Structure 1
C-alpha cells in the first residue's frame, strides 16, 4: 500500500514538474514574441534590406550626432590657454573638414572595390595581410562597443543638461536606453530603421534651424561682436602641438563615417550605388552641421562647461530657455542615444566576417528569429553596459578611447587602398591613390596625436588590442584543429563497431557522424534513418548527392526548416516514425552525434545543438535517446 502511494506521489510530482516547465516555457515564448515579434522565414531576407532614406538614418546617426560633442572637444583643448584662443576653432574645423572629404572619397572607393562589405577589416586583410586586418577588425569591434557607450552617455548628458535634477541618475538612465535599443534591433533592421528615421531627420531639421536662426541674428547685428576674439588675434601660449591636439580632439566628430562601407549588404540592390549615394549625403550633412556649430560657438563666445553641453549653451543664447531650447535639447538627446544604432548595424556584420574567417565564435554567423544576427546584437548590448558601468557614464573619459579606436582602422584602410592601387594600377588610379594617401597621412597624424596628448586616457587600447589579437588566434587555432580531426579525408581511421528503428540527426559529413553511424549499424537495427535539416533549399540537393556517394546504404531524409529550427521538424518526424514503428512493435532510438573538445572552455566556441536536442528529447515517451561522443585530441 505504501509502495503504491509512493509511486502515485512520484507520478503526480513528475506531472507537476512538467506542467510548470511547460507554463514557464510558454510565458517566456510569449514575452519573446511581444518584445521582438514573430519569426521570419529565411526567404523574407530581401524584405529586410534598407533603402537610401532609411539607411541614411540608421547608418549616419553616429557620424551626425558627433557634431554635438566634436566641436566641444576642440574648445576644451583651446580652453587651456584661455578663451582668446577660441578663434583657432575655425581653422581647426576647416582641417577636420579636409579630413572628412578625404575619408568620404576614400570610403566611396572602398564601397565599389569591396561591394560585399567588411570595410577596414576586409581592405586591410586583402592588401596588408591578415595581421593588419585583425588589428583593424579588433579596433572596430572595440570601437562599436564604445559607439554605443559614448552615444548613450552623451545623450544622457544632454537630458541632464536640460533637467539637472536627473544628473545623479546618469548611469541607470544610460543602461535603460541600451536595453531599449538592443530590443529594438532584435526586432529587425527595417523595423528599427523605420522607428529611428524620424528622430534622426528631426535632429537634422532642429540643428539646421538653430544654425539658420543663429546666423540670421549675427547678420542682423543682434549678437555683440565683443563676445568673441577676432580671428588672427595673437594668443600667448598657443603652439603647433596644442593646435594638433585640438585637431585630433575635433576629429572625434568623424567617428562613424566608415559604418556605411561595413554595412553594404544591408542596402537594397544595387547595393554599392545606394551605399555610395548615402555616404555622400551623410558627408554633406555632417560638413554643414559641423561648420555651423563651430562657427556659432566661436561667434557667441561659448565656453565648455562640465554639466552643460556646447549645443545646449548655443540653443539657450539663440532661442532663450523656452520651447525651442527644449526642442533642440530633446532632438539632440534622441540622436545621441539613437546614434548607438550605428554600432548595432555595423558590429554584427563585422562579427560575421571575423566568424567566417574563424577568428571569433561561429554563433555570430547565425541569424535569429527576425533574420538579424541576434548573437552579435545581444553581445554588443551587454559589453556596452559593462563599459558604461566601468566609466560611470562619463563621456569625456570615453571619447578619446573611442576616437583612437576609429582612426587606427582609418589609417589601415587608407594604406590598404594605396597598396591596392599601386599593385593593380587600373585606369585613373593616380587621383585615387592621392586621395587615399592624403587620408592615410592625416589619419596617422590624428592617431599619433591621441597617443601623444591623451596617453593617460587611450593607453587601454594598447592593452586590449594585443589581448583581442591573442583571442582571435587562439580561436582560429582551435577551429583548425577541430576541422582537421573531423575531416573524413584525414589519415586517422575511424574505429569500426561490429554487430529497433534508429534515427541519426546529421549536420554534415564528418568523423563524428561516421562514428555514430558505425555504432547504429552494430545494433542490428531494422532500419537506420539519417535526418538532415537544411535551412536553405539549395543545400538539400548538394547534401543528398554527397550523402549518396558517402553512405549509399543508409537512408537519408532531409527536412527543410524555413524558420531555422532544428528541434521542431525533427520531433515531428520522430513522432511520425514512432507511430508507425509502434504498430510493428519496433523501438525508436535517436542516436545523437557529439564531439567533445579537449578543453572545457572550447565548448563556448561551438553551438551546443546536441545538448539542446538531447534535453528536449529526454521528455518524450517511447523514444530512447543516446549520445555517441567523439573525443577531440587537440
Structure 2
C-alpha cells in the first residue's frame, strides 16, 4: 500500500506525496494538449513579432547597476542561469514598492524569517519525535477538559450519578481504540493524505466529502477556540486575578500561534515540542503520585461532596455525558490528514505516530478518570477538575505550579494541530475547486499563509463572541468532530468492499465498528445538545456544503469559459459579418473567442480629457501600434466641446475624434456605455482602450487627484471584448 510513499531509487523523496507550489499550476490534460497543438498549427506570427529589439537573456554574465533609491530593481543582478533558455530569480528579487512597503517587507522577514526556496519543500517535513507533539497536542490536551465535560453533565443528577463515570470511561476507551485502529488502516490505504474529506468524497460521493469537510472545518476552528478557552481557564484557575483579561489573553495567544506557524513547519515543531512532552510528563507524574497515595489507603474511594440534583438521571443525560466525554478524542484524524508532512516512509511514520498518540490518550484519559473517582472530586466553576486534582496530589512544593503551567501551555498550544491541518484541508478542497484557489498558495516559508490567517481570524471571532467560555463551545465541538469520523469510517467500509485486498473482511469489520460507534456519538451529541448550541453546527454544515458547491460551480463555469476550442479544420477563417446589436457570438465569432493572431481585429480608443503631455503620449503610443485609432472626448456642455474641437484642429487633427456631450457632468458612465455600444455593433472587434495615467511619487498626493483613470479601468473591466492598458507619466514631486 505504501509503495508510493517510499523514496525513489536515486535517493530523492517521491514528490507524489508532497504538497508543492506547483499545485497552483495544474498541467493540461491530453485533450487540451491536443487542442493546443491544433491551434499552434494555425498560428500565423505577424511579421516582425519574433524580431526582438533587445536581448531577453539580459546579458546574463554582464553586471548591472544597483537598484535605485525608488526600489526599482535592476533585473540583470537578480537572475541566474539554471538551464539553457531559462532564468532563475535570486533571493533579493522581492517585489518593488514604496518605502513603507519595503519597511513592512523587512519587518515580515524579521518576524517570520527569510523566504525558503520551492525545492526546500522536500525537506521541510517532520520526523516522528517532532510530528508527535505537533499533531497530538490537540488530542492529548483534550484529557484536560474531556473528563470534566463528562462529569459536568453527570453531576446534574447529584453526587450519586458520578459513579457512572467509570463505565462511561470504559466505553470511551473502547471507542478511542476502535477509531484509532480504523485510522491506522486508513493511512496506508490513502498514503497521500487520508482526511475525511478525501476518503468520504472518494467512496461516498462529492456531497458526503463536502459534508465531512464542513464538519472538519468547524472542528478545526472550534479546536482553536476550545483549546485557547481551556488554556486561559487553567491560567485563571491558578491566578484568579487574571480572570477579567480572559478574552484579550486568548486573542493574544491566537496571534502568537499564527506567527509561529507562519514561520514554517520545522520552526513551529521546534516551538511546540517541549510543552507537549512537558504536559505528558506532568500528568504521568500526577497519576503515579496520585495512585501511590490511593494505594496507601487501599484504593478506597473518597465519597464526593453532596451536590443538589438539578436534573433526573435518565438515558438522555447519560448519553449527553458520554458525548461530552467523547471530545477527548478530538484530534485523532490529525495524523491521517498530514501524511505528506512526514519524512519517508511517510505512511509508515504516520501510522506509528498515530499508534503512539492513541496509546498515550487511553493511558492519560483512563488514568485521570480513575484518579478523579478515587478522590471524590466534582466539577467547580472557579477551578478546573485537573487543578483540583493537582492541588490534592501536590499540596506542597512547586509541582502543582509546574502541572498547571504545563497544562496551560499545551491547552494554549493544542490549537496548533488545527493550524497544521485546517490549511491543508482547504488546500485539498481548493485543488478540487470547492474552496477559493488562493488557499493553494504556499507562502515565503512554504506554509499555507492564507489558510492560517483564515483560521486565526475565524477562531478569534468565535472566541470573542462566546467570551472565552469553554462550556459554551463544547456542545458545538462534538457534532463536527464525529460527523467527520463517521463519514470517514463509512467511506473506508465502501473502500474495502470495492478493492477487496487480502484481509479486507476484517478491515471492513473494524471500520464498520468505528463508523457505528462514531455515528452513535454523533446522533447523541446532535440530539442531546441541540438546544445547548449544537443547532448552530446542524445549520452551519449544510450552509458550508452549499457554499462549497457554489464555489465549484463558479470555477466550473470559469473553466468552460477559458477552455481551448479547436480552430476550423482548414483554411484561414473568413472575417465574420457584423452581428446585430445585442446578439453575442460564440467562440471564434467574438473578440474574446479569437485565439489566433490573424483573426484579431483591433480598434484602439484613447479617452482624452485635455490636450497635455499625458494625453499626447497616450495617443502617440496608440498610433505607434499601427491599428485603427479613435480619440474620444467627454464634454460637460456644448461650449466646452466646441473649445476642445478648436484645440484639436490647432494640434492638427491627426486622429479621428468623437466628442460626447454629458450634460449631467458624468464621465465614466457615458464613456463605458459608448464603448459597450461600439462592442455590440461589432462584437468581432477587440477594443483596446489606452488610458493616460499620472503616476505620483508620494501616496499623500493621491488625495489631491480624482484618479479618474482607475475608476474608468474598473468600469471597463466588466465589458467583454475590451482591453484596458495605461500609459504612465511619472511625476517626480
**TM-score between both structures, scaled by the size of structure 1:** 0.75
Higher deviation after alignment, 239-248 or 416-425: 239-248
Q: State the distance in 2 between where 1:108 and 1:17 align.
A: 53
Match of residue 667 from structure 2: none
1:479 matched residue in structure 2: 555
In structure 1, which of residues 419, 423, 429 is the aligned counterpart of residue 494 of structure 2?
419
Q: 1:117 aligns with which of 164, 185, 193?
A: 193
Matches within 5 A, 1:369-388: 369-388=444-463
The equivalent position to 2:139 in structure 1, one of 63, 66, 73, is 63
Query: Paired residue for 2:387, among 304, 312, 317?
Result: 312
1:137–1:516 Cα change, 3 Å? farther
1:48 is paired with a residue whose SS is coil
Listed as ranges, the matches of 1:35-54 within 5 Å are 35-54=111-130
Contact 1:415 1:440 in 2 (8 A): yes
Q: In the aligned structure 2, how far is the partner of 1:133 from the partner of 1:226?
A: 48
- Alignment map for 1:440-451 (pairs within 5 Å): 440-451=515-526
* 8 Å contact kept, 1:495–1:515: no
| Paired residues, number | 507
Structure 2 contact 342–349 (Cα < 8 Å) conserved: yes
> Which residue of the other structure, out of 182, 187, 194, is the alignment partner of 1:106?
182
The alpha-carbon distance between structure 1 residues 40 and 314, as it changes in their structure 2 partners (threshold 3 A), is same
**Partner in structure 1 of residue 159 of structure 2:** 83
Summarize the alignment of residues 485-504 of structure 1 with structure 2, pairs less than 5 Å apart: 485-489=561-565
Compare relative contact order (CA 8 Å, sep 6+) and give the higher one, 1 or 2: 1
The correspondence for 1:182, drawn from 258, 269, 280, is 258
Equivalent of 1:468 in 544, 547, 567: 544
Counterpart secondary structure, 1:369: coil
Counterpart in the other structure of 1:363:
438
Mapped partners of 2:597, 2:170: distance in 1: 69
**Structure 1: runs of 5+ lacking an equivalent:** 1-14, 230-235, 498-510, 525-613
Aligned partner of 1:342 in structure 2 is: 417
Alpha-carbon distance in 1 for matches of 2:441, 2:342 = 19
- Whole-Å separation in 2 of the counterparts to 1:72 and 1:321: 24
* Cα pair distance change 1:516/1:360, threshold 3 Å: farther
1:251 corresponds to:
326
Which residue is equivalent to 1:586? Answer: none
Residue among 152, 175, 183 paired with 2:228: 152
Shift of 1:415: 0.8
* 1:476-625 equivalence runs, <5 A: 476-489=552-565
Task: Give the one of 403, 406, 409 matched to 1:331.
Answer: 406
Question: Which deviations, in whole Å up to 9, do the C-alpha atoms of 1:450-494 show, x marking residues without a partner?
Answer: 122111210001221121111111111111111111112278999
Please point out which of 135, 143, 166 is paired with 2:242: 166
Distance 1:63 1:194 in 2: 19
The structure that is helix-richer by fraction is 1
Superposed counterparts of 1:11-50, under 5 Å:
22-50=98-126
* Whole-angstrom CA distance in 2 between matches of 1:414 and 1:632: 48
Deviation, structure 1 residue 311: 0.5
Q: CA deviation at 1:22?
A: 2.7
SS of 1:459 mapped into structure 2: helix
Q: 1:261 to 1:631 in 2, by over 3 A?
A: farther
List alignment gaps of at least 5 residues for structure 2.
1-68, 73-95, 306-310, 577-590, 605-690, 698-709, 722-733
Q: Within the alignment, does 1:286 sit opposite 2:364 as a pair?
A: no
Q: What SS does structure 2 have at the residue aligned with 1:98?
A: helix
Instruction: Give, in whole Å, the separation in 1 of the partners of 2:539 and 2:304.
Output: 42
Contact 2:70 2:98 in 1 (8 A): no
Deviations 1:392-438 (A, max 9, x none): 11111111211111000111111111111222222111211111111
Q: Distance in 2 between matches of 1:158 and 1:283?
A: 24
Over residues 174-204 of structure 1, what are the superposed CA-to-partner deviations in whole Å (9 max), with x where a residue is unaligned? Answer: 0000000001000001100111001100100
Could you tell which deviates more after superposition, 333-342 or 116-125? 116-125
Measure the CA separation in 1 of the matches of 2:290 and 2:556: 61
Separation in 2 of the partners of 1:369 and 1:494? 47
Distance in 1 (CA, whole Å) between partners of 2:419 and 2:598 is 45
Provide TM-score, normalisation by structure 2.
0.65
What secondary structure does 1:227 align onto?
coil
Q: 2:372 maps to what in 1?
A: 297
For the residues of structure 2 that align with 1:494 and 1:329, how far apart are their CA atoms? 78
Structure 2 Cα separation of the partners of residues 179 and 495 of structure 1: 62
Contact 1:512–1:630 (8 Å) recurs in 2: no
Change beyond 3 A, Cα 1:490–1:322: farther
Deviation, structure 1 residue 222: 8.8
On the 8 A contact 1:118/1:349 being kept in 2, the answer is no
- The answer to whether the 8 Å contact 1:485/1:632 transfers is no
Q: Of residues 197, 202, 224 in structure 1, which corresponds to 2:278?
A: 202
In the aligned structure 2, how far is the partner of 1:494 from the partner of 1:463?
54
- Measured after TM superposition, the shift of residue 365 of structure 1 is 0.5
SS of the residue corresponding to residue 98 of structure 2 reads: helix
For the 8 Å contact 2:254–2:460, the answer to whether it is kept is yes
Question: The residue matched to 1:303 in structure 2 has which SS?
Answer: coil
1:262 alignment counterpart: 337
Q: Report deviation, 1:96.
A: 0.5
Report the structure number with the largest CA radius of gyration: 2
Q: Does 1:141 align with 2:225?
A: no
Quote the offset at 1:287 in angstroms: 0.6
- Which residue of the partner structure matches residue 510 of structure 2? 435
> 2: distance between equivalents of 1:45 and 1:523?
47
Partners of 1:494 and 1:515 within 8 A in 2: no
Q: In the aligned structure 1, how far is the partner of 2:97 from the partner of 2:208?
A: 49
